[in-house]
Each structure stands twice: as structure tokens, then as C-alpha cells.
């Protein structure tokens, strides 16, 4: 059954008409790995390219939604380059095409694209850490609604994993200060959007520097709340939750707690506490 694969190729062409041009030039290369029948490939090739360009705002509308989720990282990227095209190019990137074809998350793909910009063309570590932070928040927003915590004693042979509405992360010291500075700038622009066109309007000025320290955080969403929040965490807590990103036994969690510095006598209570607060869930 290749109808779904065909539909995803069409969506990719709608957002990136250059793909349709590439398919017409060399379909085997442009569609390598996509399970389409010979007829379906002909349908794509025969499509009128003008129809794919009929909505000039399609990319801009989708970009607006992504920028709203990655507010500060997007603002920094545009502020550094002075070009919205820097972010619009996401829809021509391999990250976008893979996300659509493989039914991945566009939000996660856009976060990865910002990290690529930070590590590549822009060479800006502050952008990398902002994107990492906002990507964790985006993941939490998309997680299933948190379930009520049911009392459950820790079992050595039980299997546990980090709750889906919790994402541990670490960023460089100073990242939150950069975040707050950009949020203030965006707030000023929101008060009077036309001011952004004025020579004396809000502008991206010098930002706080990062330092050599590491800030450990939890991105999480409470039951009944849509918006994700950030809370400070310890290196040990993040280490345990990272260790349980895939299912792990209670005994292994206690052993890892000891490796992270917990006393042997307190390790069971420490892991039990994560179960009681819903940060860990039985599989």
C-alpha cells in the first residue's frame, strides 16, 4: 500500500516545489527509498507545477506556527542574519522532508534545524542552547496528557521509564538569561508591532554571554495544564531520568543512583520518590 507515501510526497512538493522539479529531472534519484509504484511516479511527474505554487503563503503560515513555538531561538536566528529566509529554508531541508515522509514531528525537525544553523552557518552556541531548551518544551507539549499517579511500590524486577510529559535537559550557564532578554525584546515588539519598522524601534542588542557552568532543568507539564514549564533540577535527577529514557529495571535504577553518588541505603527511597511524584512510570 503506497497511497500514504504518495500523499506525503505531494505534501513535500506543496511546501517545496523544487522537489517536484527534481522529480521531473530524475525521479529515481529524487524519490530514492520512497515506495511508490510506477503509476504513482508518473502521476507526480505529470502534475502541473504551477498548481504547487498556487498558495504563496503556505510556507509562511507554517513557519509562523513553528516560530511561535520556538520564539526565542527563531528571534535570535533572524536577528543575527536579518533575513526571514534563514528560517524559511527549513522547508527545503532534508530535516523537513524526512519528517513529512516518515511521519515525524515538524516541531522536533525545526528544532533540529535551528541546532544545525547554530553549529554551522551561524556558529552561535547561544542559539544551540535556546533551541535545545525550546525543543524540550515542544516535546512536552506534544506528550500524552499526564495520568494521575497511582501508589506503586518499587520492585527490583519491575520495569520503569521516564514519564512522557517530563524531559530532563542541560544547557550552558547563562542560557536562561539569554532567553529572558529575547522574551523582553519580543514583548516590546508585540506591544507595538509597527515599531519594528522604525529606525528607533526595538532591536536585538548585545545579549548575555554563556559561561562554563551547566544548568540542569526539567521541562514538564502538570495534569490538566497544556503549557509546559521549566524547573531547576540536579545533575543526579537528570542523570536518573536520562537513564530511564528507555525501559530499565528498578534494580538498575538503584544501581545508577549509586553511581551518581547516592548512598546505598537511600537509593531505593530516592527512586521510589520519583515514582511517587510521577517522574518515573511503570512500563
Mean pLDDT of 223-251: 92
Give yes or no for residue 51 having a pLDDT over 90. no
- The set of long-range contacts for 183-190, using a CB threshold of 8 Å and a minimum separation of 24, is 183/71, 183/72, 185/75, 186/71, 186/72, 186/75
Residues facing 177 on adjacent strands: none
Mean pLDDT of 19-46: 89
Distance CA 47, CA 22 (A): 13
User: For residue 260, what is its C-alpha cell?
Assistant: 551518581
Percent of the chain having pLDDT more than 90?
Answer: 73
- At residue 47 the predicted structure's pLDDT band, cuts being 50, 70 and 90, is confident
Distance CA 73, CA 117 (A): 11
- At residue 1 the predicted structure's pLDDT band, cuts being 50, 70 and 90, is very low
Average pLDDT, the chain: 93
- The confidence score (pLDDT) of residue 197 equals 81
DSSP 162: E
The CA–CA distances, whole Å, from 218 to 25, 167, 174, 231, 241 equal: 48, 6, 16, 5, 10
Looking at 54, 74, 93, the residue that finishes a domain is 54
- Is residue 79 in a domain? no
Instruction: State the total domains in the chain.
Output: 2
Give yes or no for residue 225 having a pLDDT over 80. no
- Is residue 80 in a domain? no
The residue with cell 536518573 is: 240
User: Per-residue pLDDT tens for 80-111?
Assistant: 999 999 999 999 999 999 999 999 999 999 99
- The confidence score (pLDDT) of residue 231 equals 95
Query: Are residues 275 and 161 part of one domain?
Result: yes
Looking at 39, 54, 69, the residue that finishes a domain is 54
- Is residue 98 in a domain? no
Mean pLDDT of 134-155: 89
Distance CA 172, CA 126 (A): 8
Is the pTM of the predicted complex or chain greater than 0.85? yes
User: For residue 93, what is its C-alpha cell?
Assistant: 531541508
- The confidence score (pLDDT) of residue 150 equals 82
The CA–CA distances, whole Å, from 12 to 38, 47, 98, 105, 164 equal: 19, 13, 9, 14, 29
- Is residue 42 in a domain? yes
Rg (CA), the chain: 23
- Is residue 24 in a domain? yes
Mean pLDDT of 248-268: 96
Query: Are residues 278 and 158 part of one domain?
Result: yes
- The confidence score (pLDDT) of residue 56 equals 85
Q: Which domain holds residue 11?
A: 1-54
Q: Are 188 and 202 in contact (CB under 8 A)?
A: yes
Q: Which residue spans within the chain are E strands per DSSP? A: 159-162, 166-172, 214-220, 229-232, 248-249, 280-282
- Is residue 224 in a domain? no
- Is residue 210 in a domain? no
Handedness of CA 115, 120, 121, 123 (dihedral sign): positive
- Is residue 157 in a domain? yes
The CA–CA distances, whole Å, from 2 to 5, 35, 142 equal: 5, 6, 27
CA nearest neighbour of 206 among 130, 117, 86, 126:
126
Amino acid at each position: 500500500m503506497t497511497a500514504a507515501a504518495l500523499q506525503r510526497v505531494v505534501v513535500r512538493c506543496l511546501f517545496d516545489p523544487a522537489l517536484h522539479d527534481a522529480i521531473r529531472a530524475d525521479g529515481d534519484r529524487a524519490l530514492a527509498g520512497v515506495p511508490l509504484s510506477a503509476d504513482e511516479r508518473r502521476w507526480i511527474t505529470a502534475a502541473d507545477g504551477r498548481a504547487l505554487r498556487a498558495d504563496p503563503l503556505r510556507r509562511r503560515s507554517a513557519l509562523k506556527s513553528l516560530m511561535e513555538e520556538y520564539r526565542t531561538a527563531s528571534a535570535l536566528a533572524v536577528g543575527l542574519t536579518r533575513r526571514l529566509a534563514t528560517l524559511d529554508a527549513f522547508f527545503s531541508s532534508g530535516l523537513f522532508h524526512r519528517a513529512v515522509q516518515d511521519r515525524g514531528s515538524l516541531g522536533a525537525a525545526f528544532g533540529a534545524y535551528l541546532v544545525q544553523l547554530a553549529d554551522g552557518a551561524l556558529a552561535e552556541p547561544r542559539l544551540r542552547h535556546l533551541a535545545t531548551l525550546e525543543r524540550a518544551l515542544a516535546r512536552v507539549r506534544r506528550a500524552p496528557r499526564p495520568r494521575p499517579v497511582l501508589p506503586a511500590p518499587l520492585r527490583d524486577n519491575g520495569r520503569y521509564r521516564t514519564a512522557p510529559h517530563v524531559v530532563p535537559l542541560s544547557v550552558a550557564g547563562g542560557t536562561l538569561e539569554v532567553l529572558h532578554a529575547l522574551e523582553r525584546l519580543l514583548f516590546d515588539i508585540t506591544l507595538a508591532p509597527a515599531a519594528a519598522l522604525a529606525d528607533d524601534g526595538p532591536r536585538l542588542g548585545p545579549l548575555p554571554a554563556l559561561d562554563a557552568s551547566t544548568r540542569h532543568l526539567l521541562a514538564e507539564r502538570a495534569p490538566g495544564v497544556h503549557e509546559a514549564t521549566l524547573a531547576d533540577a540536579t545533575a543526579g535527577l537528570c542523570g536518573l531520568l536520562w537513564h530511564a529514557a528507555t525501559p530499565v529495571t528498578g534494580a538498575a535504577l538503584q544501581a545508577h543512583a549509586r553511581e551518581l553518588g547516592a548512598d546505598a541505603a537511600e537509593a531505593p527511597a530516592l527512586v521510589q520518590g520519583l515514582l511517587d511524584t510521577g517522574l518515573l512510570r511503570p512500563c
